[in-house]
């Protein structure tokens, strides 16, 4: 239901309350009935107020109905169950959706509910030690599309990529590249035991020996200079990851280096603050943080006996940095294997005693992806050596398919990416199903030859058939879908919605209600209906970063 329709109906309930129960301060709300047959909306205000007013809820519901003023949006009010008031909208109210869509165009579905609020999304954040894998692909889709959903509700969204460019994995990258540059094969007994064996390591080694310049770093070509190899290898892989993200249509506002937390002294300052606040202790030569003070199941090591910090310490320093930059709403999108990170980081932030609220930051944890082709699991690609990459998925299918399918399930559920489905031109492929609905509309409108610039209630009045009403009803749910997706941090709601909208389009186009009819008034009304449906499809697909083709 559109906002203005909901507001007008709620205003009528408020007027009725002023007559029936003038002393109440309660505000009526509307919800969607669980069964469509029960009406277009429902209100439980009678059940809510019955006990305080000492009345039977069904009796109170009837009194409210009797006191309701005339409303052009309400066709009927019915009492159901213990006291629900079911609301049926007039045809004019339902038809007005098409007018609103056509008038608002690209803005339809957007709201300024959270205007002025800043939010940081941190996602992908891959180690620069290899190509982006399918888990990163799911994370890239979740993060980027969630950012678009939040922007649609007025948030000022900042997308950030955190480069883990410090630690043992970077050291392994350097010695792997060095071994390849020295001519060692991956099966050579001298090849590092923890080294990376994908073909991409050989590419880096060859570029290093050729003294190429990548991302502003020029290779020295000296196979004995491990620091130079490390610097070049990181720059090379950062560039490779950037190319993959560009192919995915994703741009970050900022790339933050883990190493900067050490060089700036932020890590040492964070540790000193935690010690000063009395939340640490020494045991077995290591420094521990008493995270059990903040609900963790056990205390955690901060500084190991060898003097190195565990990975969550720079994470705490990084989130203090986020807070100090003014990002008081932060959402981290990570794999479900980071579950233990949540309590550690939040405990560290509470121990820092900087006024950061409990529960900061928010997390969206996603499960990993299984890739299938020809009924078999695909476990690796030659380039990566041990896993399927984001670029593999794009090359095998398309950017549109990867973006759409990767958020077609809730983040915390397992997901199977079926290559055969993703490239099929059939209803089994949800990307094709939705895009074809748009192309189908374009074809019909092209044949109709009626230009639509604006519309009014008179033009839309002939739209009364069940398939027309179903399509109008589906379009009306788009703004609420975006609001819920933003509130729940659940962009999969948009995919579910678009599939339902496409279904309503296909039902209408394949039904008995022909658009190219000799009845000019009816033809014009249906052209306006499909024009509105096309706008909503385009808006939704654009939000996903997916194309809306006119022909397929």
SS (H, E, C) 129-180: CCCCEHHHHHHHHHHHHHHHHHHHCCCEEEEEEEECCCCHHHHHHHHHHHHH
pLDDT at 382: 66
Residue pair 87/33 in contact (Cβ under 8 Å)? The answer is no
User: Which stretches does DSSP call E strand in 170-237?
Assistant: 213-214, 217-218
Rounded CA separation 223/229 (Å): 7
Distances (CA, A) of 531 to 73, 441, 446, 537: 23, 8, 11, 10
pLDDT value at residue 485:
98
Exposed / middle / buried, residue 5 (Cβ in 10 Å: 0-12, 13-18, 19+): buried
Task: Give residue 467's pLDDT.
Answer: 96
pLDDT of res. 463? 97
What's the predicted TM-score (pTM) here? 0.91
* Model pLDDT, residue 34: 82
* C-alpha span between 540 and 285 (Å, rounded): 56
353: left (phi over 0), alpha (psi -120 to 50) or beta: left
Q: Which residues pair with 214 in a beta bridge?
A: 217
Residue spans of the chain under pLDDT 70: 382
């Amino acid at each position: 239901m559109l906002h203005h329709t909901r507001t007008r109906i709620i205003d009528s309930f408020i007027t009725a309350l002023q007559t029936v129960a003038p002393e109440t301060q309660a505000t009526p709300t509307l919800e969607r009935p669980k069964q469509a047959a029960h009406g277009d909306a429902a209100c439980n205000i009678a059940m809510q107020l019955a006990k305080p007013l000492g009345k039977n809820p069904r009796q109170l519901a009837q009194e409210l109905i009797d006191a309701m003023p005339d409303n052009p949006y309400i066709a009927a009010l019915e009492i159901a169950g213990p006291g629900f008031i079911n609301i049926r909208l007039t045809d004019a109210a339902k038809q007005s959706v098409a007018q609103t869509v056509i008038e608002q165009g690209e803005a339809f579905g957007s709201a300024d509910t959270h205007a002025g609020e800043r939010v940081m999304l941190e996602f992908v954040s891959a180690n620069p030690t290899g190509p982006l894998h399918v888990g990163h692909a799911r994370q890239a889709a979740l993060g980027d599309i969630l950012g678009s959903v939040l922007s649609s509700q007025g948030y000022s969204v900042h997308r950030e990529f955190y480069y883990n460019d410090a630690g043992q994995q970077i050291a392994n990258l350097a010695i792997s590249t060095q071994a390849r540059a020295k001519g060692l094969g991956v099966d050579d007994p001298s090849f590092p035991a923890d080294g990376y064996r994908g073909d991409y390591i050989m590419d880096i080694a060859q570029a290093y020996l050729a003294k190429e310049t990548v991302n502003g770093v020029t290779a020295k070509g000296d196979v004995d200079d491990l620091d130079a190899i490390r610097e070049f290898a990181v720059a090379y892989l950062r560039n490779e990851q950037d190319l993959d993200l560009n192919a995915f249509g994703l741009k970050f506002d900022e790339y933050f280096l883990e190493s900067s937390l050490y060089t700036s002294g932020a890590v040492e300052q964070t540790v000193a603050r935690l010690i000063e606040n009395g939340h640490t202790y020494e045991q077995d030569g290591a420094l521990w943080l008493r995270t059990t003070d903040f609900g963790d199941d056990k205390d955690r090591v901060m500084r190991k006996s060898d003097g190195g910090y565990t990975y969550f310490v720079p994470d705490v320093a990084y989130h203090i940095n986020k807070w100090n930059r003014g990002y008081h709403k932060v959402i981290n999108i990570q794999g479900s294997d980071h579950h233990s990170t949540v309590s550690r980081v939040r405990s560290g932030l509470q121990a820092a005693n900087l006024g950061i609220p409990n529960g900061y930051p928010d997390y969206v944890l996603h499960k990993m992806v299984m890739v299938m082709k020809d009924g078999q699991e695909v476990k690796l690609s030659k380039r990566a050596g041990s896993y399927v990459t984001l670029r593999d998925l794009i090359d095998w299918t398309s950017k549109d398919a990867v973006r759409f399918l990767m958020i077609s399930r809730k983040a915390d559920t397992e997901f199977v990416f079926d290559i055969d489905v993703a490239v099929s031109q059939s209803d089994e492929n949800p990307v094709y199903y939705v895009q074809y609905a748009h192309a189908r509309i374009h074809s019909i409108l092209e044949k109709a030859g009626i230009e639509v610039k604006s519309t009014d209630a008179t033009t839309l009045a002939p739209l009364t058939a069940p398939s027309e009403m179903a399509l109008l009803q589906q379009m009306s749910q788009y703004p609420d879908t975006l609001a819920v997706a933003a509130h729940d941090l659940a962009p999969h709601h948009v995919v579910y919605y678009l599939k339902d909208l496409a279904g309503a389009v296909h039902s209408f186009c394949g039904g008995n209600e022909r658009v190219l009819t000799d009845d000019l008034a009816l033809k014009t009304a249906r052209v306006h209906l499909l024009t509105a449906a096309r706008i909503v499809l385009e808006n939704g697909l654009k939000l996903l970063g997916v194309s809306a083709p006119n022909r397929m």
